Chain A
Amino acid sequence: MEITLSPLSPSVNQTFYTSLFDLQDGERVRTCLQCGTCSGICPFGYIMKFPPGKIIGAIRAEIFEQVLKTDSVWMCVSCNACASFCPSNIPITRVLMTRTKEEMILAGNVPSELQAALENTQRYGNPLGESPRKRADWALGLQPEVNLLAKTRQPVEVLWYVGDYASYHPRMQSATRALAKILNALGVNFGILGPEEYSDGDSQRLAGERGLFEMMAQKNGQVFRKYKFNEIITTDPHAFNALKNEYPALGIEYPVRHYTQFLFERLEQIKPLLKTEIKAKVAYHDPCYLGRVNGIFDEPRALLSAIPGVELVEMSHQRINSLCCGGGGGGMWLDGFQWEKAHTRLSEWRVREAISANAQILAVACPYEPPRFEDATKTIPAASQLKVREIAELLAESMDL
């Protein structure tokens, strides 16, 4: 859509601008230097009519309404690269981009794919639109049986918050089962919530649906209160991020770790169990909400390095400079929309990087990634031999589980 300079609506502009200041560190937006770093590092900045820096520019020019007339903010995958490299330390993703998406959603301007995921979340408690009753079906047939807290009501050491894609996505379920087997092999006393578990809501929040996120958080909070446990571990970095950084403000506060941190703590116990060699060059993809946002870079790499035969190689984008798989911030539910705009997928770029690094296995630690990267290996001819494996899958394989 053409950008025109009139009519101006300073009130919309001003209301939006000051609403940013209510958020934690939101006032830092004032310190923007207009250096353009954010727009440059944004993986889709080159396609956006208003990349982050330009949104701030538009607000200062009092033409924020023009931003809302374009749909370019839906290219944002909330990867937090902009915020991580901003010299003024502006929380661009959490504050500016998320609030802009909120405005779009309040105005009813939502791409239909995203709408379906949000409606599914509201209705079923998961964005995939699956039956809540089937949330623990991945565990069927596992021995020993996975401890469903609603059934046993026993206090446990660890509450494993499994999450949406790890519970339901057919490609992820094998990784979820692998982690259950590892926890059993280590003698961890753990339980899951199954049908009582709701979506963590973090990607919905970052897609601008704050109200829905709060509803999910409250429902999860109610369930957490029913049971006794010492800590929560998560499969999903987004759930980890929500529980660690967002739920406490809503009064839901528990010690939480990503499973890679939990296993890393037990590395000495795991090492003797890693018997089968996996002879391969392995590139590890840092998930945005594990690495860049929450600073967990070394634990996943240490787990992979402990597997006999594994040779870790690094891709050009790594650690804080990792490249998003494209699934964050609603990207998981905007595939068609983003493809139409970009005619490429971030997962495809990433898979090409893995090939350039001579990797034979692309190792991941986020449930969005196995399906996204595996799809990418099917569309990038050079990547047809590349295997995509969850860290839990590789560990379980080496442990002969």
Chain B
Amino acid sequence: MKIAVPIKFVPDLVEELTIDPSGTALDTTWLRLIINELDDHAVEQAVLLKERGGGDVTVLAAEADGVDDFLFTAAAKGADRLIKLTGDFSTADNHALGRAFADVIKELQPDLILTGVQAHNDLDGSIGPLLAEYLGLPYVGYVAGITPGGDKVIARKEYAGGLVAEVEVKLPAVLGIQAAEQPPRYVAYSKIRQIMGTAKIEERPLGALESGGGVMIERMFQPEAAERATMLEGSPEDVADKLVGLFKELGTL
């Protein structure tokens, strides 16, 4: 089975985020980027499928600080092919990124496309469904387990409230990964260093970014406090009485 895994890097919340002077974007001066956690799971799931039933895994990423290291790590885990889209992605939203990935994926003709079901900077929808639309393929999201079966797979899709559905999907298809069947594995640094000498990252220069259909950001801002919380004081009984009074006042009781 040929598997493609498009991944993206997102702002690392270990640094405080600040808004740039335009007021519509993050200030990138101190921005540190990190792999989107669910994309990391998508890579793990792809490698697990390969280990179980054989196959060929291609990981695709847009150029960013740290992407090379991530791609080499993916190779050390078992990815066969590494593709990096090069160019200026600083203004790319998911619509634009999805189109850029779709162009390369069309060429690869994979059986299965796995990507993280969401990312914390998805402002214009997540990549998976956009990609499926551009490629004209079926999409199943919130997947936490895949069983291959010939020209189909059974995807275990998670619903709220602890419900799980088993969905049969005809290939090729795009699956949005909620969690790999096991947590992303650790690769010893010596193995990553070793693979840096042998693995190759294929670079694909990016054409024009096309973000049509995405959202326009009018204003980006830190959460603003509207009304402060009120602390109820007194004995537990007093507090409970006041709370009941408040609930009645608000019409919830």
Contact = CB atoms under 8 A, between A and B. Distances in A.
Partners in one complex: yes
Interface of A: 102, 105-106, 108, 110, 112, 115, 118-119, 122-124, 129-131, 133, 209-212, 215
Contact of A110 (B32, B186, B191, B193): B186
B225 interface: no
26 contacts: A105-B186, A105-B188, A106-B188, A106-B190, A108-B186, A108-B187, A110-B186, A112-B183, A115-B186, A122-B189, A124-B14, A129-B14, A131-B14, A131-B32, A133-B30, A209-B188, A209-B189, A210-B190, A211-B188, A211-B189, A211-B191, A211-B192, A211-B193, A212-B189, A215-B189, A215-B193
Given A123-B34, A211-B193, A133 B186 contact: no
A201 to B, nearest CB: 10
Interface in B3-47: 14-15, 30, 32, 34
Interface in B161-208: 183, 185-193
Interface of B: 14-15, 30, 32, 34, 183, 185-193
A87 B195 CA distance: 42
Given A110-B186, A131-B14, 11 more contacts: A105-B188, A106-B188, A106-B191, A108-B187, A122-B189, A123-B34, A130-B14, A211-B188, A211-B189, A211-B190, A211-B193
A174 B1 CA distance: 57
A118 B30 CA distance: 23
Given A129-B14, A131-B15, A108 B193 contact: no
A106 B185 CA distance: 11
| 3 tightest Cβ-Cβ pairs between the two chains A and B | A211-B190, A211-B189, A212-B189
B171 to A, nearest CB: 29
Contact of A108 (B32, B185, B190): B185
A131 B30 CA distance: 11
A112 B188 CA distance: 14
Contacts of A110: 186
Contacts of A124: 14
Contacts of A118: 186
Contacts of B14: 124, 129-131
A215 B192 CA distance: 12
Contacts of A210: 190
Contacts of B188: 102, 105-106, 209, 211-212
A68 to B, nearest CB: 14
A215 B186 CA distance: 16
Nearest to A108: B185
Nearest to B14: A131
A211 B193 CA distance: 8
A210 B188 CA distance: 8
A119 B186 contact: yes
Contacts of B190: 106, 210-211
Contacts of B192: 211
A209 B186 CA distance: 11
Contacts of A108: 185-187
Contacts of B187: 108
Contacts of B186: 105, 108, 110, 115, 118-119
Contacts of A112: 183
B32 to A, nearest CB: 8
Contacts of B32: 131
B8 to A, nearest CB: 17
A110 B182 CA distance: 13
A230 B244 CA distance: 69
B71 to A, nearest CB: 15
A272 to B, nearest CB: 45
Nearest to A119: B186
A122 B186 CA distance: 11
A102 B189 CA distance: 11
A124 B66 CA distance: 12
A215 B183 CA distance: 25
A215 B194 CA distance: 13
Contacts of A212: 188-189
B123 to A, nearest CB: 24
Nearest to B190: A211
A20 to B, nearest CB: 17
A119 B73 CA distance: 11
A344 B15 CA distance: 36
B65 to A, nearest CB: 12
Contacts of A122: 189
Contacts of A130: 14
Contacts of A105: 186, 188
B7 to A, nearest CB: 16
Nearest to B34: A123
Contacts of A123: 34
B15 A133 contact: yes
B180 to A, nearest CB: 13
